[in-house]
Chains A and B, each alone.
Chain A
Amino acid sequence: DVKVTQSSRYLVKRTGEKVFLECVQDMDHENMFWYRQDPGLGLRLIYFSYDVKMKEKGDIPEGYSVSREKKERFSLILESASTNQTSMYLCASSLALGLDDNEQFFGPGTRLTVL
C-alpha cells in the first residue's frame, strides 16, 4: 500500500514564525501535492511538483513556498506565518501526470494553528 506520511498531526505557531511542513511518500510517485482544507471550501491546491526540483503554483500559492530536493519528500514552507494560514494541510502523491485515472494518495493531514 502507498503510504504518505506527514511530519506533524498538530502544530501551533506564532505569527511571523517560519513554518516547515514535511511530507514523505514511499511508492516512488512522480507527483506530489500540497492542499489546504477549510470548512465549506473543500481542498484547494497550493503547490505541486512533478519531479525533483520542479514546482508549479496551484490556485492559492501566495504566502507559501515549497521544496523538493528528493523524489520522496515534498516540503511546504510558510515564510512568515499569519493567522489566516490556520488550516488543515494535506499532502498527496500520485503517479506521473497525463494518466486518466491518476488517483492521489493522501497523508493524514497537519492541523496548523497560527496564534
Chain B
Amino acid sequence: AQSVTQLDSHVSVSEGTPVLLRCNYSSSYSPSLFWYVQHPNKGLQLLLKYTSAATLVKGINGFEAEFKKSETSFHLTKPSAHMSDAAEYFCVVSVGDMRFGAGTRLTVKP
C-alpha cells in the first residue's frame, strides 16, 4: 500500500521569495509521483510528474520537484513566488491507483 504526507497544511510566502512545499511518500514499489494545483473554484491541474526518469522534474509555471528515494521525499519548489501561485497544492503517489495528500494551501503576500 502507498500513502503520502504533506507536511504543511498552510504555507505563506511573500511575492518574489522562494516556495517550498514538502511531501513525503510511502510505497512498497517504485512509485510515480505527481503534483497537482487547484486554484479557487477550479479543477485540479497537473504541475509535474516523476516516472522513474530524471530525479529533478520541471513543471509548468516555473515549479520543479526533486525525487529523493533515500528520504522518500518529493518536495515542490519555485525560486520566486508570484501572486498567481496562490492555490492549493496536492502531492500524489501512484502505484496502480493514486493516493492524494491532504493538500497545502499556499498564500502569497504582496
B83 CB-CB contact with A under 8 Å: no
Q: Which of B41, B44, B46, B98 interacts with A90 by CB under 8 Å?
A: B44
A101 engages B51 (CB within 8 Å):
yes
Q: What is the CA–CA distance of A45 and B44 in the complex, to the nearest angstrom? A: 15
Q: Most chain-A Cβ atoms within 10 A of its Cβ — which of B32, B44, B94, B97?
A: B44
A103 engages B9 (CB within 8 Å):
no
B102 engages A40 (CB within 8 Å):
yes
Q: What is the CA–CA distance of A31 and B34 in the complex, to the nearest angstrom? A: 18
Q: What is the CA–CA distance of A106 and B92 in the complex, to the nearest angstrom? A: 14
B52 CB-CB contact with A under 8 Å: yes
A100 engages B44 (CB within 8 Å):
no
- Chain A contact residue count (CB 8 A cutoff): 24
A108 CB-CB contact with B under 8 Å: yes
Given A90-B43, A103-B34, do A97 and B96 touch, yes or no (CB 8 Å)?
Answer: yes
B90 CB-CB contact with A under 8 Å: yes
A106 engages B52 (CB within 8 Å):
no
Query: Which chain A residues numbered 37 to 57 have a C-beta less than 8 Å away from chain B?
Result: 40-45, 48
Q: Which residues of A contact B34 (CB under 8 A)?
A: 103
Chain B min CB distance to A90 (Å): 7
Q: Which residues of B contact A112 (CB under 8 A)?
A: none
A4 CB-CB contact with B under 8 Å: yes
Q: Which residues of B contact A44 (CB under 8 A)?
A: 100
Q: Which residues of B contact A4 (CB under 8 A)?
A: 43
A104 CB-CB contact with B under 8 Å: yes
Q: Which residues of B contact A106 (CB under 8 A)?
A: 36, 43-45
Given A103-B34, A108-B42, do A41 and B102 touch, yes or no (CB 8 Å)?
Answer: yes
Q: Name B residues whose Cβ lies closer than 8 Å to a Cβ of A.
A: 9, 32, 34, 36, 41-46, 49, 51-52, 90, 94, 96-98, 100-103
Q: Name A residues whose Cβ lies closer than 8 Å to a Cβ of B.
A: 4, 9, 35, 40-45, 48, 90, 92, 97-98, 100-109
